[in-house]
Each structure stands twice: as C-alpha cells, then as structure tokens.
Amino acid sequence: MQAQLENMADPPAATPAAPARAQPPRGGPGHALARLAWCAALAGGVALAGAAYWWTERVSTERLRAAGAQRLEVYAASLENLLDKYDFLPHMLELDKDVLALLEHPGDPARRQEVNAYLERLSKQAGSRIIYIVDLQGRTLAASNWREKSSFVGDDIRFRPYLQDALRGRPSGFYGVGTTSGEPGYFYARGVYRDGRMQGVAVVKVNIEEQERGWVQGADNVMLADANGVVFLSSAPAWKYHTLRALSPAVRAHLAQTRQYYRLPLPALPISRDETRADGTRVMVIGGQTGGGARPMLVQQRSLAPRQWTFIHLSDLSHARANARLAVLFAGVAYGFLLLLFLYVRQRLRAKEQLQDAYNNLEMMVAERTARLERTTQRLMDEAEVRREAEQQLHRTQNELYQAGKMAVLGQMSASITHELNQPLTALRTMSDNAVQLFERGRMAEARENLVKISQIVARMGTITGKLKGFARKSNAELGPVSIHTAISNALVLVERRMQLDKVAFTLDISDADIFALCDSNRLEQVLLNLMSNALDALATLERGAPRALSVSVTEAAGAVRIRVGDNGPGLSNEARERLFQPFFTTKPQGEGLGLGLAISEQIVRDFGGSLRAEPSEAGASFVIELRAASAERHDG
C-alpha cells in the first residue's frame, strides 16, 4: 500500500496531468440532492425529538405512578394501624364494674364521679381524645372531659349514626366534627352488655389529625375522602372539607341530619379537568393548588374498606413534562452533534485527498500509537480481571456472612416464639376445659366469662407475636411510663385459674396509689407471667396437701420500682443459681421447658435499663425486678 501511495505521489513524467474536476452547475441535480438530504435530516431531527419527548414523559409518569402507589400504601397502612390500635378500648369498658353499676343506676352522683375519673385516667393512658358512656336513650352519663367547659356529660347524641348502629348491636366507627367542641375525630362505638343484655354504649373519640400534619410537612399531595366524596383530611389546607363532586340535596340532607360535618358548607373543589388518558392514567387539574396556578396532577386511589374511605394521591406531572423537554433538548443537541460529526468526517475525507504527501508519516505514527494503546489496553484488561476475581470473592464472602447471620436470627426467633406462646396456649387449654364443664353444668354466664377471657388471651397472643417482631428491632423501641397495677392485673388473668385449681394462696402487697415504671407494658407483663408460671411449676412439685403460696409485692423508693415475686416451693440449688439466666438451662423434666424463659426475661428487663435477679429466701425462691420509676404526669403527657 505504501508503494502504491508513493507511486501516486510521484507519477512518471511521461504521464499527462489529470484534468481539473468539473464542478456541477448551480441548480443542477447535485444541489437538488443536497436540498433533499438537508430536508431529510431536518425531518429526522423532528421525529427524534418527538420520540424522545413521548418516551421520556411516559417513563417519568410511570415512575411517578410507582412512587405514588408505594407512598399511598405507606399512608394507608399508617392510618389503619392508628385506627386499629383503639378497637379494644370500648370492649374494655364492658369489664369495669363501676361502668356497669352507673348504667344500672344512672342517677347515682357518686358512681358518676367514679366513672368520670376512671374514664379520664383511661383516656390519658390510651392517648385517646375523649371516652364517654351513653345510656340506651342516647344521653351521655359520664365522660373523660367532665372537667372541661365543653364536657359531653348530659349531651343527647341520638342523631349520631355510630350510636344508632351500636344500639342495634353493630359495633361501628364514624368520622365527624364534634357538635359540642367543634373538634373533628374518629368515633368508636360498642354496646356494653351484662348477662347478654345491652346496658348502654361505650364511645371512644380519637384525633387522627396527626396523620394530616405529617402529609403537610412532606412534598406529596394527599387527601382522604369519605363515601360521599367529602375530603376530611388533606395535605393542602385549601382542599379540606371540600367535595370531589357537587353533593345532591339528599346527601346534604343526610349529612345535616347526622351533623357529621356540623355547620361546614362543604363546597365542591374547583376541578377544571378530570380525564382518563389513552395509557390508562387519570389526570386532574384543581384550581387554587398550593404553590401557584393549576397544574395537571396524576391521580391514584386506594380504597379503605370497610370504612368506605378513599385515599387519593396526586403527583405533579409538570416534573415529568420538564424531564420530557430536557430529553428533547438533549436529543436535539445529540442529533446536531452527529450532524456536525458527519460534516466533519465528510470534510476530512475531502481533505484527505490533499494530504497524500503526509500520509506515510501519519500511518507510521498511528501504527506506533496503536501498538502502545494495545499494550496499555492489555495491561488494563489484566488489572480488570484481577479486580473482577477479587470482587467475586468479596461477594461470595459477604453472601456467606449474610446467610449465617440470617440463620442465627431465625433460630433465635423460632425459640422465642415457641416459649412466648407456650404459656398462653396452656391457659387457653385450661380455660377451654373449664368452659366445657361449665356448659355441661348449665352455668352459661360463667362459661361466657370464660370465653371472653379466651378471646382476650387470643388477642394477647397476637400482641405477643407483634411484640416479638418489635423485640427483633429493640434498638428502635421507645420506653414509656407503664402502670404496675395494670401490668400485674393483666398477668394474673392468665394464671388465676391455675392458682385456683392448684389451691395456691396468692397475696398482693401494693399501695392503692398507682405506681408507674419506665418500660414497655407488653414485655413487662410477659416477664411477670414467666416468673409467676415458674413459681406455680415449682409449687406443683410439693407433696399433696402441703400449703402452697405465691406472693407479689411492689415498693417504690429512690427513683426505683421493685417488684418481688416469691413462692414457698423447694427453692433453688447452688448449681441452679449459678446458671439461672443461661439460655437452655432448665430444672424441669425433659419436654416441659426450653430453658429460655429467665434468659429472655433478664434480657427484656436489661433493655428497660433495669435488672432481674434472684434473692436469697428462707423458703422457696424469690425474684426481684428493679425498674426506673416514672411519674403519672409524664405518662399523661
């Protein structure tokens, strides 16, 4: 090839000079072809820009839809968890003897005062807004806000749908604006029964506006509407208590009758556009949005059954369109660059004809640089291969460590769940057998009480499994003031029947004033239940006819709360004291225990910032739980 170029560069002298290239005349076929090529290039650029705009807008919209659906699920789950947390409260009031006594004797001022004080304490402990008791005529007999000027005591609420449903025997929930205080909230209502006969209705009002505050602080546009299309929670204050569509006269008459939104006018939202696009997405434009004029919004909905609410998430499509415009700009720049590159190459090809003399030197330089580049490339490839092998080894090691850690956690959780559910299942078996005997003897009222307790234990087991999940994330658990009276009472529910069967004498030494400790109520009750069950197991080994005693005492001093659980059983050996809190150590016969109860209990108390220890005792065993004290005022706050 080099020889050919040299021959071309130095032609023989006898060869005649080549004639100059003839230039095509202006306006000829060459110029027409050039104009056609430029028109084709322009059309290609326009088509590329349109395709870039369409594809980018579609991808951006799909990303907005996926992100909106995920956020919508998070918001819905958060609201459902908040509402489900208070479902048990109305049922608890049915178990209080003072509430039942007030419903039987509504004119007794002393009973009314006792129930008012009890509801006030319960409302502060549960974090609800108001708890009140209503008789069968719809008149409020007692309320937790009895001290306030806007007290519900004496109000007639027969017009409320949630009360009407509860009086028909259907527990219900209802969102509405208070007619006395003007404060919105969610109302739970459930009938209070005694011996199968309804005595009245227990109502709990919960403030769910905290959910709305979280939406306002975020960047999302969210609103929650009821079955009539009334928006009662929204991230945009201007949308709240508006409707998604104009309300019919019948719906407005019904709302006025139930006073669900009291005196609010409930105007329709200024929706200037609401359409479904060809790709299945729904676009809405609402006038007066936050942050400027009306903008197109991508609409996503999620139904909250059985409350007949609808969660609506609105994503601003202006971001997707801005991305599409940027894509058009980028496509135009890239296409222009390619055109310039084409012109540059074309010009280079033309100039190459004039650079034949320098071609040999350039070819040698290119060959030398190519060889150098190949050597560099080979060296880089060798280094890349070494790095790739090291990364593969690192990934394999990380996967092995992850699998080992996962299997260890699964083993701990399976052992914990087996131990935590063993005692409630034992109580369920005992109470079920007792219920069968009561049915056979025709003692239906006592059998019903047994079934109610079984239901409470089943709910308790659900709480236990939920708390075991929380225990796996104990670094995020928040401690708070817990009533020691309540914790001991809840633990005694699961063992009182066994104490009766085993003829165990139980004593409780605690002050009348409630004592609060800084811990978690569910896990403290599990520790107390474990200590009481262990004591009953030890007492079961005594000779038949021997006296059996179980005692619980609570003292508070120097900022600490001490709970002592003791028995008069056979006590602890020296070996047992040394290995007492070691996992899988047990003094019970094989098959009757895993040896995890005290180890888990000691870990739980230690997470509270307290301690669990065995103290010397003249007879039997004695365990002491020491926790940090907490004030009732702090608990109320």
* Residue ranges covered by each domain of the chain: 409-474, 477-636
What are the tens digits of pLDDT across the range 188-225? 898 898 888 899 999 999 888 777 777 766 667 888 88
Give the pLDDT of residue 354: 72
Provide the mean pLDDT of the chain. 79
Please identify which residue in the block is written with the tokens 């608890």.
Answer: 92
Q: Which residues contact 491 (CB under 8 A, 6 or more apart)?
A: 525, 528, 529, 532
Q: Looking at residue 570, what DSSP letter applies?
A: S
Do 241 and 128 contact (CB within 8 A), yes or no? Answer: no
User: CA-CA distance, 459 to 87, in Å (whole number)?
Assistant: 11
ω before 306 within 30° of 0 (cis)?
yes
- Per DSSP (E only), the strands in 254-308 are 271-276, 282-286, 296-304
Q: What share of the chain in percent tops pLDDT 70?
A: 83
Three-state DSSP class for 151? coil
Question: How much is the pLDDT for 427?
Answer: 78
* 31-86 pLDDT, tens digit each: 788 788 778 878 887 887 788 777 887 787 778 788 878 888 888 888 888 888 88
> What pLDDT, on a 0 to 100 scale, did the predictor assign at position 485?
93
What's the mean pLDDT in 422-447?
84
Question: Highest mean pLDDT range out of 70-79, 228-237, 380-389?
Answer: 380-389
Residue 518 has pLDDT above 80, yes or no: yes
User: In which band, very low, low, confident or very high, does the pLDDT at 128 lie, cut at 50, 70 and 90?
Assistant: confident
168 CB-contact burial (10 Å; exposed 0-12 / middle 13-18 / buried 19+): exposed
pLDDT value of position 217: 64
CA atoms within a 13 Å half-sphere pointing along the CA-CB vector of 312: 26
CATH numeric code, 477-636: 3.30.565.10
Of 206-220, 358-372, 618-632, minimum mean pLDDT range: 206-220
Q: Which two tokens stand for residue 180?
A: 């006395």
pTM of model > 0.85 = no
* Structure tokens belonging to residue 629: 């004290």
Phi, psi of 261 (to 5 degrees): -115, 20
265-305 confidence digits (pLDDT tens): 888 888 888 888 776 678 888 875 544 457 888 888 888 87
**Residue 128 Cα to chain centre, angstroms:** 20
Look up residue 326 and give its two tokens: 């940027």
Which helix (DSSP H) or strand (DSSP E) does residue 233 occupy?
strand 230-234
Instruction: Calculate the alpha carbon distances from 445 to 437, 451, 578 in Å.
Output: 13, 10, 48
Question: For 552-610, what is each residue's pLDDT tens digit?
Answer: 999 998 889 999 999 998 888 777 777 777 776 676 665 555 666 788 888 889 989 99
Lowest-pLDDT range of 9-13, 37-41, 449-453: 9-13
